[in-house]
Amino acid sequence: MGVSIEDIKKLKELSGIGLTDAKTALVEAGGDFDKALEVLRKKGVTKAEKKGDREAREGLIDSYVHGGRIGVIVEVNCETDFVARTDGFKSFAHEIALQIASMSPIYVSEADIPAEELERVRNESKERVIAEGKPSAMIDKIVEGQVKKHFAEKVLMQQEYIKNDKQTVADFVKENIAKTGENLIVRQFKRIELGVND
């Protein structure tokens, strides 16, 4: 099956790979653009995970103000100053700021949730599940599911990415790691909303 040059260029642009690799991926996917992108994303995620241990101390601080009512400042790190100065990295940092403004997370990752807060939510959930009379063999599994669900919207990396509901923010970060070839980290953020104290 033939593949169009437009699709090859589009896949190259989205994935950050070469034209030949883009064409190969499309041919393997039988010309199905979404399927080719998904295959590349999975390969990219594998490469991205290998880069996850590398030191990332360069980067930039980006800010976004929405309508004078919501403001976000975010620190995003990469490995080199060269990548930090690229338009792609600046765009990535700005997308993260938009996500934070829109979805108001509290934590960057699960590791940032205070142990006492995690324990409080877990205990409340356990009391509720026991009161509902669930089988004792199922309680721990149900509680863990409820705790995960409770924090899913509060943890930036677990949130659904606002521009692609088939991805989490963590997936979006991994996709950009694959594009840049460097480890990328959202280090910290602050979100301010007019008239709201946290």
Residue range 125-180, pLDDT digits in tens: 888 888 888 888 888 888 888 888 888 889 999 999 999 989 999 999 999 998 88
pLDDT reported for residue 14: 66
Distance from C-alpha of 78 to C-alpha of 45, rounded to nearest angstrom: 17
Where does the chain hold its CATH 1.10.8.10 domain(s)? 5-51
pLDDT number for residue 38: 74
The string of pLDDT tens digits covering residues 59-86 is: 999 999 999 999 999 999 999 889 999 9
Query: How is residue 169 annotated by DSSP?
Result: H
pLDDT at 52 over 80: no
Nearest 5°: the CA angle 50, 45, 175 is 115
This prediction's pTM: 0.67
Helix (H), strand (E) at residue 73? strand 70-78
| Averaged pLDDT score across all residues of the chain | 85
Residue 171 CA to residue 5 CA, distance in Å, equals 27
User: For the segment 104-120, what is each residue's pLDDT rounded down to a tens digit?
Assistant: 999 999 889 898 998 99
Q: Provide CATH 3.30.479.20 ranges for the chain.
A: 58-108+154-193
CATH top-level class of 58-108+154-193:
alpha beta
Helix (H, G, I), strand (E, B) or coil at 63: strand
Fold held by 114-152:
GTP Cyclohydrolase I; Chain A, domain 1 (1.10.286)
According to CATH, what is the number of the domain 5-51? 1.10.8.10
- Which among 16, 46, 43 is positioned nearest to 29, based on CA atoms? 43
CA distance 173 to 77: 11
The answer to whether residue 41 scores a pLDDT higher than 60 is yes
pLDDT at position 45 over 90: no
3-state secondary structure of 101: helix
* Numbered ranges of CATH 1.10.286 in the chain: 114-152
Strands 160-161 and 70-78: unpaired
Q: What's residue 46's pLDDT? A: 44
